[in-house]
Amino acid sequence: MAARVLSAVKGGAIAAPVPVRRALVSVFDKTGVLDLCRKLASQGVEILSTGGTAKSLREAGVAVTDVSDVTDFPEILDGRVKTLHPAIHGPLLAVRGNEAHEGDLKSHKLGAPIDVVVTNLYPFEKAAAGAEQPDSPEAASEVIENIDIGGPTMLRAAAKNHAGVAVLSSPEQYDAFLADVRSNDGSTSAGMRRSLAAQAFALSARYDAAVAQWMTRLASDDAAAAEADGAAPLPGAPVRPVVFRSYVHHSNLKYGNNPHQGNAGVFALAKGTAGDAALPFEVLNGSPGYINLLDALNSWQLVRELREGLGQAAAASFKHVSPAGAALGVPLSDQLAAAYDASAIAKRVPGGALTPAALAYLRARNADPLCSFGDFVALSDVVDEATALIIKPEVSDGIIAPGYEPEALKILSAKKKGGFIVLQADPDAELPADEWRELHGVALRQRRNTFVYTPESLGKPETSSPEVSEAVRRDLTLAATTVKYTQSNSVGFAAGGQMIGIGAGQQSRVDCVKLAARKAQTWWMRQHHKVLELPFKAGTKRQTRVNARVQFIEGTITEAEHAAWLKSFDEEPAPISAEEREAWLAALAEEQVCLASDAFFPFRDGIDAASTIGTKFVTQPGGSIGDAAVIEAAEEYGMAMLFHGMRSFHH
């Protein structure tokens, strides 16, 4: 049944080409319309037009028939009524091949069918946005005059009757339309008409949605003002805001979160009634997946805010929508350089110099290299050749950055046999004020979290000691920004310009601290001389060395694992003794460890857990009924605690 409906509508065969003999042209935006009408007129097409459009065409030498001559009725009401007439809508809606419709046109002398409609709509959104005093009666009156009536009516009539009518609703369609007419010997194809109709209905829907939302806001403001004045409720049903959002398909995805979740795709939010839509990034290489894009968009916001808040190159290594590491382009100590294999890495870089972007990436990747395996990378700065050469051997899915040097792009595009995902973020993209999420048919809305942490935003210490230096404020800012984009509950430890341990997504905040502290201890133990001197066999793969070091540090290898673990070494390494471990971990306190939490600490247990790795600086929103006990605990451990007052849950 559906197939028959698609192939014929009350006697009008959609599949048949339709000769273009008569066109109705009435546009607000006159871009390209003169050239279009000249080409139509040169093929003997009769042009009907209205008002200013007819005048401009006639002045340019295009023969035009005024709509008022067709309707035998003048334009009235300051142009509010021009095309709303049977002599226009009859020829627009008549089904080709339908004897009754053709008889009506003839008996009522309505003229021949109209084959093409060229129209676009009054700029309602521009008028609404540009009103100097949008809530004044005068401004509202001006905006209302930009609510198009005749345009949408012609648009919808022509689109409904696309079995015989082609409707052009944007100058961007003109060239493709003319090419279709040329290739069909002066006729329009069924595919072109249906495509144009779909675009026309989409425009009409977006236009009506914009008007509806504006009117709803005015009505809501009226109701709120009446309530504030103590007046009786306004008559009629309460205003229930209705929100319309329009997305334009960009590309398909292989699948969603999991392989069995199909119908996955990427859509860009349409801007305005014109339907302009652009993603805030460009795909330069590879094919991103669903989770890739979640990681990319979150990590890009993180590094962009670090750059904004601290003025330094920043990098992040993301896995499953949380950072495994984040860092700034701060030079490495000799000890860290050894732990990160920086000397070997520098040999791959022309000149051996690591740029700030390269340093930021090296630190971010090495914060937790076990978890960074198969990560998505984000850089705040243009990716240079040095950074690309460091990324090249790592197991990673992709990268997002504001730009790439030509050689860097070449290196990254060749990674993973050409499948490495390279996204170029638009740093100037205007992001929507609100964020939306749909779950099980329920839509949730919230204002986007636009707060940017800076050293100044952290406030003053609530405790008496120790002194908070500029370097500490930098690291606290880094940690606070990082946990803002970490799945909540979350905390993060930072030291020396990088994250050293992140605890994400735990139901208990103290468990977040314990998890992050364990990761920070592992990071520190990786710098122990026995770890650096592990006797790996020549040719042992990088990730195998990473995994083996963590197993060596944690000392929890099972008997079966131990046999496999030994295969990576020329000889069995001497273990780190309990005394050596304790002495080394005690020195972590000298690194001025900083802790940030995405929400307040409800109890002192989080501070107790943080003290186990010598934490000396803490920043958190505060605001708990347990603040006094938490501050007291910080005082006991000699920690400086700063309340910045801004919770940053992230889900």
- Does the structure show a pLDDT above 80 at 40? yes
| CATH number of the domain bearing residue 184 | 3.40.50.1380
Residues 302, 381 within the same domain: yes
Spatial distance between the Cα atoms of 348 and 130, rounded to a whole number of angstroms: 55
Per-residue pLDDT averaged across 334-343, rounded?
Answer: 89
Identify whether 257 is part of a domain: no
Cα(202)–Cα(140) distance, integer angstroms: 26
Please tell me the total count of domains within the chain. 4
For residues 390 and 318, membership in a common domain is answered with yes
- Check residue 10 and give its pLDDT: 47
Residue 346: domain span? 282-425
Residue 146 resides in a domain? yes
Taking the C-alpha atoms of residue 185 and residue 278, their distance in angstroms, rounded to an integer, is 35
Q: What pLDDT sits at residue 230? A: 67
591-604 pLDDT tens trace = 999 999 999 999 99
Domain assignment present for residue 251? The answer is no
Q: Are residues 456 and 421 in the same domain?
A: no
pLDDT (average), residues 111-130: 84
Q: 111 or 363: whose pLDDT is higher?
A: 363
Helix (H) or strand (E) holding 156: helix 150-160
Going across the sheet that includes 314-319, the strands are 281-285, 421-425, 396-401, 375-379, 314-319, 322-328, 498-504, 490-495, 594-597, 617-620, 640-643
Q: Are residues 395 and 501 in the same domain?
A: no
| Per-residue pLDDT tens over the stretch 63-73 | 888 888 787 78
- pLDDT in the model for residue 91: 86
Residue of 320, 392, 416, 530 marked catalytic: 320
250 labelled catalytic:
no
Is the pLDDT score of 612 beyond 60? yes
Please indicate, yes or no, if residue 261 is contained in any of the structural domains: no
With a cut of 80, say whether residue 281 has pLDDT above it: yes
- Scanning the structure block, which residue is given the tokens 């806001």? 217
Q: What is the mean pLDDT of residues 173-186?
A: 92
- Count Cβ atoms within 10 A of the Cβ of residue 141 and give its class: 0-12 exposed, 13-18 middle, 19 or more buried: exposed
Least confident of 2-16, 50-64, 346-360, 460-474: 2-16
Position 120 in a domain:
yes
| pLDDT given at position 238 | 62
DSSP element (H, E) containing 9: strand 8-9
Q: Do 108 and 149 share a structural domain?
A: yes
Whether 256 is in a domain gets the answer no
Contact at 8 Å (CB) between 110 and 90?
Answer: yes
* Average pLDDT value over all residues in the chain: 89
Q: What is the CATH number of the domain that holds 611?
A: 3.40.140.20
Same domain assignment for residues 378 and 489: no
Same domain, 570 and 507: no
* Residue tagged active-site, from 160, 271, 392, 530: 160
**541 included as an active-site residue:** no
